[in-house]
Each structure stands twice: as structure tokens, then as C-alpha cells.
């Protein structure tokens, strides 16, 4: 039998890969619906469709066309699917029979609709829409000419949070709750005003809903999120959290006695571990179930492939005493079982990334990714732990390529802390040879590299590079003290962690060529790349992506700058300008000798492009080796969900820069 000769991954393979996500069990527990996404190469866009799967492995495509369908949700009786689609030109709610047929548009909201949540009796759907002060939920979609006319009007800003990296300029719009009445097609507006509301869940008897908001008159500055319960009879509501933290993902127990929440009280600001909380409907008491558990509840994995995480929160069992949820720890995410008595133990926790979860009567469908497995859905029998693969969306593609696995290692930081990392050997690896090596630094900094597929890493190993990636202090997954340790210390011990990882790789992996080292990272990883090249000439090439270079200007130009600098650097522009400058890579730009490629999106409001412009001009003015690549209409999410053509260009720019300066 002839052996298939496999090749290494290239950036263009992004067009061949498919992504699965958001599985949702049917009420009968025998079938499930999920979203499969692929890239439309001709239109440089994404197509997402709904698929129906059964637990014996059969899969049938349900929706078609050059559209993006998402958020499928079953009606309680299993007869109907509600989902979001942009097939009308704007994302609206559609419904279709579970027996098949054409989807029917159900909402015509002026700014679209999202997040459909069925009422327990199946007669209504709770949803979210955007409205400006002059609009109501009954206003219909506008013609394109009307929208173009509005673009010519000046935008008047009177609040500090007036833009968002995800949504762009907010233009005075607020997020509001509505209810769609299935029988009549009428929509009912539940909230109004200048506050933003997010949908939660229905009470089991259908008389109330939960929602998430900050409706304090000083909400523009508060940076908290509370959970509320609204009676649908009179629209009165009560707050069940204390306006002292960030809470969300409310989930009502089937017996109506409890509401589970995910959140924290901001003890360590943005570095605080989210925990599971339990609200007693009868007594009004709110208690933390995982107060002593030093882990991250949820999925905090950073990657560049999976789209549209399901964000499942707590999923109750029928006994109203136990539940399932996702948890991230030491570079992995898994499924955990919990109870109102405080029991917490793993149902599925291995060296992998569980990125999606749906549960029905102790049966689960989970999305799983590994470094050599882009992602598929699996059936998990929670009663015995048996795991069976359901989808094989990338099987044909994987037959032709050779992926590099990620081998874990642990090393000591200079102060003795244990730090986890991984090394990936290059395609065509030959024992005894040395290879140019690239150190990758993740963003956040409060995120977590993990045992998951990372396309950028595979492109680099496919071109003959070793890739080393680690979780330095500041990363999630290693407890509260570890994740908080970077705050107020950017560029100090976190920098030493990255350099210690480099030392370990050179000393312990004989295939690493210490004379040909590169470094790259995005966001905080971009900050760290800028910092590294200003403090050492050890690296022969570097690529900084969507970076921070100047905390002084970041304070005023980022959509989060005015509070992020206080949270993370423990200083602000008004009182600690010198501290902000001391932590700014721009201060040390005169030391840079490493050839540096600068990549940045034009529409990045999280780390605005002026951060890159300052660093580039300062380097160019000194006639240092540098190049600046600007990506049109791209925001901070370019590498993960941006325009596919630009994602491809980004990967090739990174690869070509390292080829030029590390292999010649």
C-alpha cells in the first residue's frame, strides 16, 4: 500500500478548514443542532449553516446559501428552531420547522435582533436589539439610502464610553430587550432609555425573565454588571446582585427555587477569577458556591480558529440540585459536575480544549479541539465518561497535511515560580538538526494558551520553525495569585518569565538554534514584543501585532484605556503619568536593534493604530530595520474573526518576515 506523502500547513489552508460550534440538544435528547462555518473564498467572507446531528453519528445540513446562520435554539416541544441569520441583509430572528423547510423571517427590527431565548411554553422568544433614542422596537429595517444619509451626520459624544472595538462608534445606541409573540408576529419592547441590557433566561413558569445591566445613573463610570429579575406582568424588576462586580450567565433551576450566576466582585479588578454563585429566589440570599476553588469557571482559552463560543454557563439537571459547566485550568478546559451543596468534580478533563457544551439528562455534546485537531463534536455519556466522535468536518483535509503536536514542559522563573509551556517541532523535523525558533506571547494578559489548534503556530512549524509558547504570570489557569501577579508589574517579572522560557528552550531542546530566535505576540503580546526588543538584542527578528507602545496615549484613545491602565498598571494619566511612561515600550525605543515588523488594524479601538504609528515613526526616524503593515477595516479581532483575505495576508507577512531574518 502506497504511503500518503503529507505536507506542512500553509496560511492558505485557512480556506479549507471548517469550524463547528454552538451544539444544542433537542428536547428529546436524541438529536442536536449545531453551526458549521467555512470561508467563502470568492467573497472573502464566512458562510455559516445549521446542521442536524444524531447520537449515532448521522449529520444533515439544514440551511444553505451565502449567509451566516447562528444561535440555533429549539422550541420547548422540539417542533421549531429559532436562529439568527443575515439573509435579509441584517441579522434577524428566523424560525423553521424541525421537519425541514424554508426558514421564515420572524423579526424586522430596525437594527437587527440577536440572542433568541424561548419561553417555557414556546409561545414567545426573548431577544436583544439595538435602538437609538428616537427608535422603537416596532420600527422596521431601513433602506440602505436612509442609512447612508445618517452616516453624513456628525456624531455628538457626551459619555466616556462612546466606542467599542466590537461595535465601533456606539452612536448613542443602547441594547434593549424585546419579546417576539410567535402566533401574531408582534414584538413587545421591555426596556428603554440610555442603558444597555442583555438577555438572561426565563423563569420555569414563564412569568419572569432575568437580564444583565448596569442601570445606575453613573453607569458610564461604574464598570459593573448586575443581574435583575423582571416580572412580565407589570415590568417591575429587582436587582439580585450587589453592584460591586461583574455577574452574568443567569440560569434558573427547573424547580424555580434557584438562579445560578457566573461572576465575581472585582477583588482583583479585571484579573479576578469568575466563580459560581447561587441566588435563592425564596430567601433572596446570594452565596458563592466556589469561594474556596482557585480556578477559572468558563472557557478562557486564547486561539485563532474557533468562532462563536457557546458561553453555556451553568446547565442545570432536572433534579434542580446539580449542574454541569466548563472550567479552565493549566492549559486545558473540561466539563465539571457541581451541586448546590458545593460538590465539584471533573466529568471530562484531559489535555484538550472543550470549547462547547450542551447537556440533556446527563448526556452531553461537546466541542473538542487539540493542537492537531482543529475541532469536532463528540457525544459524552456523563454517567460513565464514554466519549464518541460525532463529526469529522476536517477529515479529508487532515489526510493531506502533517500537523505539529504541542509537547508540554515546565520551567522555573528566576524567582522560583513554576511556569508551563509547550514546544512544537517543525514539519519535516530531523533529529540532530537545529531550527530557527519563535517565541509566542499571548494577549490579555489574562488569557490562557492551551492544548488547542492554533493556525498561526501550524503555519510557522509548516515553514520549518520551532514554536515555543507559554503561560507567564498574568495568565489565567493557575490560580488567583498567579493571574494577579502581573498587575502593576508589566515588563518586569512577566518579561523575565518569557526570557526564562527562551533560556529553557535553548538549554533543553537540542533542535533549537539559539542564534536564530524570533518573538511575536498580539495585544498584550504585542506590548511584550515591543518591550522585549527594547530590553534585549537576543532576538534576531520580531513581529509586534495590535500592540501597545505608549500607555500615556493609550489612556485616552482605547475603548478601555481610562480604566484598563488603572486596573493593570495601577496608575492613571492624571496622577501617575511618570509610571505610565516608565512602563511604555516607546520610552526604550532607542535601544531597539532587532528587525521589527509592525502589524495593526485600522479600525482597532482596543489598541488603536496610533500605538503602532508612534513606535514605527520612532524606529524609522532612527533608520532602524522596520516595516509597518496596516489592515483596512480590521479591528482587534483580525487574527480570529477578521476578513479572511486579511487574515491570510497577516499570516504570510509574519511568516515571510521570519523567513527573511531567521533563515538567511
The residues annotated as belonging to the active site are 523, 636
* 547: DSSP letter: -
Measured CA to CA, the distance from residue 259 to residue 278 in angstroms comes to 6
Which bin fits 351, alpha (ψ -120 to 50), beta or left (φ > 0)?
Answer: beta
Among 566, 637, 630, 565, CA closest to 601: 630
* Angstrom distance (rounded) from CA 323 to CA 159: 40
Which three-class secondary structure string do you get for 420-432? EEEEECCCCCCCC
Q: What angle do CA 103, 174, 45 make, to 5 degrees?
A: 45
Centroid of chain to Cα 263: 17
CB atoms within 10 A of CB 460: 31
Residue 367: CB atoms within 10 A of its CB come to 25
Judge whether 539 and 505 are in contact, CB under 8 Å: no
Residue 363 belongs to what H/E stretch? strand 363-370
Distance from C-alpha of 30 to C-alpha of 56, rounded to nearest angstrom: 9
Q: Establish whether the linkage from the previous residue to 411 is cis, with ω within 30° of 0.
A: no
Q: Which long-range contacts (CB under 8 A, 24 or more apart) does 60-63 make?
A: 61/36, 62/33, 62/96, 62/100, 63/96, 63/103
DSSP string, 303-321: -SS--S------EE-TTSS
For the purposes of burial, counting CB atoms within 10 Å of the CB of 122, is it exposed (0-12), middle (13-18) or buried (19 or more)? middle
Q: Are 480 and 268 in contact (CB under 8 A)?
A: yes
Listed as own residue / partner, the contacts of 26-30 with beta carbons closer than 8 Å and 24 or more positions apart are 26/74, 26/78, 26/98, 26/360, 27/74, 27/76, 27/77, 27/78, 27/360, 28/78, 29/360, 29/361, 29/363, 30/54, 30/55
Q: What DSSP element (H or E) covers 255?
A: none
The residue with cell 490562557 is 448
What does 60-121 look like in DSSP terms, one character per residue?
EE---SS-BEEEEEE-TTSSEEEEEE-TTSS-EEEEEETT----EE---BTT--EEEEE-TT
Instruction: Compute the residue count for the chain.
Output: 664
CA gap 104, 600 in Å, rounded: 40
Helix (H) / strand (E) containing 28: none
Question: Would you say 22 and 71 are in contact if contact means Cβ atoms under 8 Å apart?
Answer: yes
Q: For the purposes of burial, counting CB atoms within 10 Å of the CB of 410, is it exposed (0-12), middle (13-18) or buried (19 or more)?
A: exposed
d(C-alpha 418, C-alpha 410), whole Å: 7
Amino acid at each position: 500500500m502506497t504511503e500518503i506523502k503529507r505536507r506542512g500547513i500553509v496560511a492558505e489552508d485557512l480556506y479549507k478548514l471548517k469550524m463547528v460550534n454552538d451544539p444544542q440538544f433537542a428536547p428529546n435528547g436524541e438529536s442536536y443542532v449545531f453551526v458549521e462555518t467555512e470561508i467563502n473564498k470568492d467573497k472573502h467572507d464566512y458562510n455559516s449553516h445549521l446542521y442536524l446531528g444524531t447520537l449515532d453519528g448521522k449529520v444533515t445540513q439544514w440551511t444553505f446559501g451565502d449567509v451566516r446562520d447562528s444561535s440555533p435554539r429549539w422550541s420547548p416541544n422540539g417542533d421549531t428552531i429559532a436562529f439568527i441569520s443575515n439573509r435579509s441583509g441584517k441579522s434577524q430572528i428566523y424560525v423553521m420547522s424541525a421537519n425541514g423547510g424554508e426558514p421564515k423571517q420572524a423579526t424586522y427590527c430596525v437594527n437587527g435582533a440577536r440572542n433568541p431565548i424561548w419561553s417555557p411554553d414556546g409561545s414567545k422568544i426573548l431577544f436583544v436589539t439595538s435602538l437609538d433614542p428616537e427608535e422603537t422596537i416596532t420600527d422596521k429595517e431601513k433602506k440602505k439610502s436612509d442609512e447612508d444619509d445618517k452616516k453624513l451626520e456628525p456624531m455628538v459624544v457626551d459619555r466616556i464610553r462612546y466606542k467599542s472595538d466590537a461595535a465601533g462608534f456606539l452612536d448613542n445606541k443602547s441594547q434593549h430587550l424585546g419579546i417576539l409573540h410567535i402566533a401574531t408576529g408582534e414584538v413587545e419592547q421591555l426596556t428603554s432609555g440610555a442603558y444597555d441590557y442583555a438577555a438572561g433566561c426565563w423563569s420555569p413558569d414563564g412569568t419572569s425573565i432575568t437580564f444583565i445591566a448596569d442601570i445606575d445613573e453613573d453607569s458610564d463610570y461604574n464598570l459593573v454588571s448586575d443581574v435583575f429579575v423582571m416580572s412580565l406582568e407589570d415590568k417591575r424588576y429587582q436587582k439580585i446582585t450587589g453592584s460591586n462586580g461583574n455577574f452574568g450567565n443567569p440560569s434558573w433551576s427547573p424547580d424555580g427555587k434557584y438562579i445560578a450566576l457566573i461572576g465575581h466582585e472585582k477583588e482583583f479588578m479585571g484579573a479576578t477569577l469568575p466563580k459560581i454563585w447561587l441566588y435563592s429566589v425564596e430567601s433572596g440570599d446570594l452565596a458563592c458556591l466556589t469561594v474556596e476553588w482557585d480556578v477559572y469557571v468558563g472557557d478562557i482559552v486564547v486561539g485563532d480558529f474557533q468562532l462563536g463560543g457557546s458561553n453555556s454557563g451553568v446547565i442545570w439537571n432536572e433534579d434542580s440540585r446539580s449542574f454541569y459547566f466548563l472550567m479552565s485550568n493549566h492549559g486545558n478546559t473540561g466539563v465539571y459536575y457541581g451541586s448546590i451543596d458545593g460538590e465539584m468534580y471533573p466529568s471530562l478533563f484531559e489535555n484538550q480544549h472543550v470549547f462547547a457544551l450542551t447537556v440533556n439528562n446527563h448526556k452531553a455534546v461537546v466541542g473538542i479541539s487539540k493542537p492537531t485537531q482543529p475541532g469536532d463534536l463528540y457525544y459524552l455519556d456523563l454517567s460513565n465518561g464514554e466519549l464518541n466522535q460525532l463529526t469529522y468536518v476536517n477529515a479529508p483535509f487532515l489526510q493531506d497535511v502533517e500537523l505539529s503536536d504541542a509537547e508540554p514542559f515546565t520551567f522555573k522563573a528566576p524567582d522560583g515560580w513554576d511556569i508551563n509551556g509547550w514546544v512544537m517541532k517543525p514539519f519535516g523535523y530531523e533529529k540532530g538538526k537545529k531550527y530557527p525558533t519563535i517565541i509566542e506571547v499571548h494577549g490579555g494578559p489574562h488569557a490562557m494558551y492551551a492544548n488547542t489548534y492554533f493556525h498561526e503556530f501550524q503555519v510557522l512549524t509548516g515553514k520549518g520553525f520551532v514554536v515555543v509558547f507559554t503561560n507567564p504570570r498574568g495568565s489565567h489557569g493557575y490560580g488567583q495569585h498567579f493571574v494577579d501577579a502581573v498587575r502593576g508589574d508589566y515588563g518586569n517579572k512577566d518579561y523575565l518569565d518569557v526570557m526564562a522560557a527562551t533560556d529553557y528552550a535553548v538549554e533543553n531542546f537540542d533542535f533549537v538554534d539559539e542564534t536564530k530566535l524570533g518573538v511575536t505576540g498580539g495585544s498584550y503580546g504585542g506590548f511584550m514584543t515591543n518591550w522585549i526588543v527594547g530590553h534585549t538584542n537576543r532576538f534576531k527578528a520580531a513581529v509586534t501585532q495590535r500592540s501597545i507602545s505608549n500607555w500615556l496615549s493609550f489612556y485616552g484613545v482605547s475603548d478601555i484605556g481610562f480604566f484598563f491602565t488603572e486596573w493593570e498598571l495601577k496608575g492613571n494619566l492624571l496622577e501617575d503619568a511618570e509610571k505610565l511612561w516608565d512602563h511604555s515600550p516607546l520610552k526604550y525605543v532607542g535601544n531597539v536593534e532587532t528587525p521589527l515588523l509592525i502589524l495593526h488594524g485600522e479600525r482597532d479601538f482596543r489598541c488603536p493604530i496610533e500605538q503602532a504609528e508612534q513606535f514605527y515613526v520612532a524606529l524609522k526616524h532612527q533608520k532602524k530595520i522596520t516595516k509597518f503593515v496596516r489592515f483596512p477595516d480590521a479591528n482587534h479581532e483580525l487574527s480570529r474573526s477578521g476578513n479572511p483575505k486579511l487574515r491570510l495576508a497577516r499570516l504570510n507577512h509574519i511568516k515571510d518576515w521570519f523567513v527573511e531574518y531567521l533563515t538567511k
